[in-house]
Amino acid sequence: MEKQVILNSKHFELTIKRLCYQLIENHNDFSNTVLIGLQPRGINVLTRIKEQLEKILKKDIVCGDLDITFYRDDFRRREQPLIPSATNIDFVIENKKVVILDDVLYTGRTIRSGLDALLAFGRPEKVELLTMIDRRFQRDLPVQADYVGKTVDTLSSERVSVEWKEIEGEDKVVLFTPEANG
Amino acid sequence: MDSLSVNHLTGIKDLTKNDIELIFKTADAFKEVINRPIKKVPSLRDITIANLFFENSTRTRLSFELAEKRMSADVVNFSAASSSVKKGETLIDTVNNILAMKVDMVVMRHASPGAAKFLSERVDAKVINAGDGTHEHPTQALLDAYSIREKLGSVEGKKVVIVGDILHSRVALSNIYCLQKLGAEVMICGPTTLIPKYMHELGVKVEHDLIKALEWCDVANMLRIQLERQEIKYFPSLREYSMQYGLTKEILDNLSKEIVVMHPGPINRGVEITSDVADSKQSIILNQVENGVAVRMSVIYLLASQIKRG
């Protein structure tokens, strides 16, 4: 696989800050807005956005983690069973504005499951989607993001990985391309 | 450890430690689900499950049915009392007739030891044993161990005593296998007549004095005297049994440490355990019932993930 860094650590930080200011434009002081990260990798986006927003707004932002395993449409279509992660939502989202956060928007199936899973916690006033990377032209379902870190054009044979300094040692986004035959 | 090593759950004996840990990890997620305002997930919406109860049950049957419904499975119930079994139909015929109606999974309780294994080798459906005679009751053992893990942090290294009618108890046998696989020490305690001879071979301690057993343990699992399975008298009277092996608040308070009290239900209050013990803060009997649903959801989910379509 050929590796290409499409967002380095400097631009990564700028992107996070920009996304925060875009959120503030629409949600003011976040008094009626909650952030929900999708397990597993959306939690990293949530942690970073929450940290930055709290620094800017100087107040606590209500956040939760949502696991979508039991709502996926590929259960029993894989060799291994899908093993769930933890859901931590200790508030009701009834009449709240909800922003769902994930790292990569690709086919849109994860978000479809996330919307289904969200309904178990109430009827939100509005749901928006924030993603670090939007792999456009690869959608299986009609899903679009409201806040996008970076849009990339990719082939389905390629892979995009959002890496975090807490886990992988460096903030960056990498595009993996399979080597051409011959 | 991301999939079960077995295709059916007929007994704890066939499971590995990894299997049990996978079931517990998945049950953690389901426990969160059953405490939500809306307690239903769509995972099993195209799976049909038949609950075949050839023996009476309240808790286990309700618990399985709730577990199935909380995952959106279609459920059909069957009880021997109101069925053609009374007209002389064999077990295999009954089950094959039900499977002809396209059922994916069978949860079965039966009075004959080995009935679940027998069935799993002969029918084209996943089989879960919900109790086979005096042999095994695997989901009960799993929920008991899960409840100990929840209360004490882990099962490994803990000392568990099982008190009462070991001879007729499928809960005891499954519990011994499960607890030992998870690294706990197990002791059984009861009158000599209710302890089978081969018990030493399973590597469990045997004690006939209740107080000594309780002083040794971290957890006491109090079993019911199964009068319905006793064709002869194993002890002079229930009153005498209760005097020697009944757990009272006084005994509990006089122990040198605080122990956890469990009971698989149904409780005979005043026989193996008094009301004030059953309702005390040391008792986790109702937690066991709640955990039963989560653990059964986990087992059904993991087995259902092995069913492939088309």
Q: Let me know if A133 is exposed, middle or buried by CB neighbors in 10 A (0-12, 13-18, 19+).
A: buried
Nearest to B43 by CA among B64, B71, B75, B70: B71
Q: Between chains, do A86 and B306 touch, taking CB under 8 Å as contact?
A: no
Q: Residue B270: left (phi > 0), alpha (psi -120 to 50), or beta?
A: left
- pLDDT over 70 (residue A182): no
Candidate from A67, A76, A116 with C-beta closest to B307:
A76
> Is the model more confident about B2 or about B25?
B25
Q: What average pLDDT score do residues B95-124 get? A: 90
pLDDT of residue A119: 87
Omega before residue B264 within 30° of 0, cis: no
Q: Is B25 on the interface with A (CB under 8 A)?
A: yes
| Tens digit of each residue's pLDDT (9 = 90 or more) over B281-293 | 999 999 999 999 9
Query: Which residues, other chains included, contact B212 with Cβ-Cβ below 8 Å and sequence gap of 6+?
Result: none
Say if residues A118 and A36 touch (Cβ distance below 8 Å): yes
Residue A84 to chain B, least CA–CA distance (Å): 6
Q: Between chains, do A121 and B71 touch, taking CB under 8 Å as contact?
A: no
| Tens digit of each residue's pLDDT (9 = 90 or more) over B242-258 | 999 999 999 999 999 99
Q: Between chains, do B41 and A71 touch, taking CB under 8 Å as contact?
A: yes
Which pTM value belongs to this model?
0.89
Q: Between chains, do B38 and A120 touch, taking CB under 8 Å as contact?
A: yes
Alpha-carbon gap, residue A60 to B95, rounded angstroms: 58
Q: Between chains, do B2 and A83 touch, taking CB under 8 Å as contact?
A: yes
pLDDT of residue B1: 52
pLDDT of residue B289: 94
B/e letters for A31-70, b = 16+ CB within 10 Å, e = fewer, are: eebbbbbbbebbbbbbbbbbebbeeebeeebbbbbbbbbb
* A12, A13, A19, A20: CA torsion to nearest 10: 160
CATH architecture of A2-177: 3-Layer(aba) Sandwich (3.40)
Q: Is A122 on the interface with B (CB under 8 A)?
A: yes
Q: Is A12 on the interface with B (CB under 8 A)?
A: no
- pLDDT over 70 (residue B82): no
- pLDDT over 70 (residue B83): no
Closest chain A CA to residue B41: A70
pLDDT of residue A101: 97
Q: Which residues of B touch A76 (CB under 8 A)?
A: 304-309
Structure tokens at B242: 């209760």
- pLDDT over 90 (residue B156): yes
pLDDT of residue A92: 87
pLDDT band of B10, cuts 50, 70, 90: very high
CA dist list (Å): A71 to A53, A119, B37, B44, B279: 30, 11, 16, 10, 38
Q: Which residues of A touch B33 (CB under 8 A)?
A: 70, 87, 120
% residues pLDDT > 70 (chain A):
99
Q: Where are the beta strands (DSSP E) in chain A?
A: 2-7, 33-38, 63-66, 97-105, 126-136, 147-153, 159-163, 172-177
Residue A55 to chain B, least CA–CA distance (Å): 31
Q: Between chains, do A76 and B29 touch, taking CB under 8 Å as contact?
A: no
| Tens digit of each residue's pLDDT (9 = 90 or more) over A74-122 | 887 777 788 888 899 988 899 999 999 999 999 999 999 999 999 889 8
pLDDT of residue B129: 97
**Half-sphere exposure of residue B278: CA atoms within 13 angstroms, side-chain side:** 18
Q: Which residues of A touch B41 (CB under 8 A)?
A: 70-71, 117, 120
Nearest to A111 by CA among A134, A89, A92, A93: A134
Structural domains of chain B sorted by starting position, each given as residue range(s) with its CATH number in brackets: 12-136+290-304 (3.40.50.1370), 138-288 (3.40.50.1370)
Residue type, B14: D
- pLDDT over 80 (residue B231): no
Q: Which residues of B touch A83 (CB under 8 A)?
A: 2, 22, 25-26
Q: Is B48 on the interface with A (CB under 8 A)?
A: no
Q: Which residues of B touch A90 (CB under 8 A)?
A: none
- pLDDT over 90 (residue A19): yes
Alpha-carbon gap, residue B186 to B159, rounded angstroms: 6
The structural domains of chain A, with segments of one domain joined by +, span 2-177
Q: What angle do CA B107, B112, B115 make, to 5 degrees?
A: 45
Q: Is A22 on the interface with B (CB under 8 A)?
A: no
Alpha-carbon gap, residue B175 to B12, rounded angstroms: 8
Residue A176 to chain B, least CA–CA distance (Å): 26
Alpha-carbon gap, residue A163 to A9, rounded angstroms: 10
Q: Where are the beta strands (DSSP E) in chain B?
A: 48-53, 74-79, 105-110, 126-132, 159-163, 185-189, 205-207, 219-222, 260-262
Consecutive H or E run containing B275? helix B275-278
pLDDT of residue B226: 78
